[in-house]
Amino acid sequence: MNRRNFVKQNLKISALAGIGGLSVYPKAISSDINILKEEKAPDQFHLKYAPHLGMFKNLAGEDPIDQLNFMADQGFTAFEDNGMKDRPIEVQEKMAATMQKRNITMGVFVAHKIYWTSPNLTNGDKTLRDEFLKEIRESVEVAKRVNAKWVTVVPGYINVRQNIQYQTANVIESLKYAAEILEPHEITMVLEPLNFRDHPGLFLSESPQAYQICKAVASPSCKILFDVYHQQIQEGNLLPNIEACWDEIGYFQVGDNPGRNEPTTGEINYHNIFKYIHQKGYKGVIGMEHGNSGEGKQGELAVIEAYKVSDNF
């Protein structure tokens, strides 16, 4: 699933959905939901897996508040929303109140405009850097409103007319300025390497590259978003690379490959990866940034079951 389409799809779903009260889910509940609710253990998962809006819309309904409550009822203790920054303030506040009430940790949202086809941070352009930093300041206010501690940053497109080392220096300089904005609020920007197949031409694509940049920025507000889906395509060797980057990883996202759907549908052994991350003592969020392999209610039930199976260690 293309990331741009993934973000747009979630925004479209949310735009169509109304915001209701703080109900658990609609009164016209299906028998599937009743079964799920009855069988759920209080602490169903070892890790903080974070669904997104739309992932359970057939079981929970279109209302984002009902979807959040449904996630909590199934044992999910985190949530992420790429498009949170673009939602109306009253919607952000209602979602934040629901997450606080249901003990859901807010994961990432995208902090700035991503330049998918032209350079911004890589070329050192001051105007574009100032635009980026302005958006980071705006994201601080959103993060405080929704109790978010992580925001996603993608340094953008490569500058084909400039040596990669100069581009790296330009990116590091911009991120140092951003870290100065974020540090007082204890908010962390997580840099996401994206694979060459889905996103050709982007500057940041590999975990060692992200590790080098985070070491150079040298701030607790600049860490790696290790998306297992992207890194399986880009570099493989997943557990050794996670180990090598461990002290600079601030956040994980997942999706199986091929297909970018839930665990157990592709080639990645998420049971072993989740077990490894848990044994390392990871307490952060694991974003479920993927689609559903099946359609309708059964497809959504399959997602929940996939996480039960993968988390069974």
Which 8-state DSSP code applies to residue 104? P
Task: Give yes or no for residue 227 having a pLDDT over 90.
Answer: yes
Is 72 contained in some domain? yes
Rounded to two decimals, the pTM is 0.88
Are 71 and 79 in contact by the 8 Å Cβ rule? The answer is: yes
Residue 162 included in any domain: yes
92 in a structural domain: yes
Are 277 and 252 a contacting pair, CB within 8 Å?
yes
Q: Please count the residues of the chain.
A: 313
Residue 28 binned pLDDT confidence (cut-offs 50, 70, 90): very low
* Total domains present in the chain: 1
Tell me whether residue 242 is in a domain. yes
54 in a structural domain: yes
Q: How far apart are CA 103 and CA 80, in angstroms?
A: 14
- Does any domain span residue 35? no
pLDDT (0 to 100) of residue 44: 84
Q: Dihedrals φ, ψ of 152, to 5°?
A: -85, 135
The C-alpha atoms of residue 305 and residue 264 are separated, in whole angstroms, by 10
CATH of the domain at 211: 3.20.20.150
Task: Encode pLDDT of 252-294 as tens digits.
Answer: 999 999 999 999 999 999 999 999 999 999 999 999 999 999 9
| pLDDT digit string, tens, across residues 164-208 | 999 999 999 999 999 999 999 999 999 999 999 999 999 999 999
- The domain containing residue 176 runs over which residues? 3-13+47-310
Which residues belong to the active site?
192, 289
Count CB-CB contacts under 10 A for residue 144.
12
39 lies in a domain?
Answer: no
Instruction: For residue 40, tell me if it sits in a domain.
Output: no
